[in-house]
């Protein structure tokens, strides 16, 4: 096993946390992205999810000597399904997260964007829709 703590490797600062692990978007290639799969408890790198050209899809490359339970494999599979169905595009997800943070600040009255009119009800509706998806 590669004993490397990679929590600081999330340079793009896009993370998806599940019950057992964190998927950390670490880089973009020309049309695809690279994700680290990190153990939440230990911070150890469990593997990498990236595009595999021969199969034309995202796949999981586990680190040597790693063992996964059914639940962990299901979490990894959910990420692969999202990436392969192109529902989870890193740039769009990052923009969506930033917009959601801005809308939460607006809805709570902490921030009002410059040069724009904001309707608090619409901001709250947006936040509610994002939480249900």
DSSP result, 71-97: HHHHHHHHHHHHHHTT---HHHHHHHH
d(CA 99, CA 34): 23
Whether the predicted pLDDT of 41 surpasses 80: yes
Q: How confident is the model over 98-133, as pLDDT tens digits? A: 677 777 777 776 665 554 544 555 666 666 776 665
d(CA 72, CA 12): 24
Taking 3-state DSSP, the helix, strand and coil percentages for the chain, each rounded to the nearest 5, stand at 35, 25, 35
7 vs 123, which has greater pLDDT? 123
Q: What is the pTM of this model?
A: 0.59
112 vs 16, which has greater pLDDT? 16
d(CA 58, CA 122): 36
What average pLDDT does the segment 48-76 reach? 93
């Amino acid at each position: 096993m590669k004993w490397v703590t990679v929590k600081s490797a999330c340079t793009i600062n896009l993370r998806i946390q599940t019950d057992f692990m964190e998927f950390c978007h670490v880089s973009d290639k020309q049309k695809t992205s690279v994700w680290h799969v990190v153990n939440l408890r230990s911070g150890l790198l469990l593997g990498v999810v990236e595009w595999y050209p021969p199969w034309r899809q995202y796949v999981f490359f586990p680190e040597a000597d790693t063992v996964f339970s059914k639940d962990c494999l299901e979490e990894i599979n959910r990420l692969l399904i999202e990436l392969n169905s192109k529902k989870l595009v890193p740039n769009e997800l990052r923009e969506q997260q930033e917009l959601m943070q801005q809308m939460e600040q607006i809805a709570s009255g902490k921030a009002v964007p410059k040069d724009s009119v904001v309707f608090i009800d619409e901001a709250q509706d947006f936040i509610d829709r994002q939480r249900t998806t």
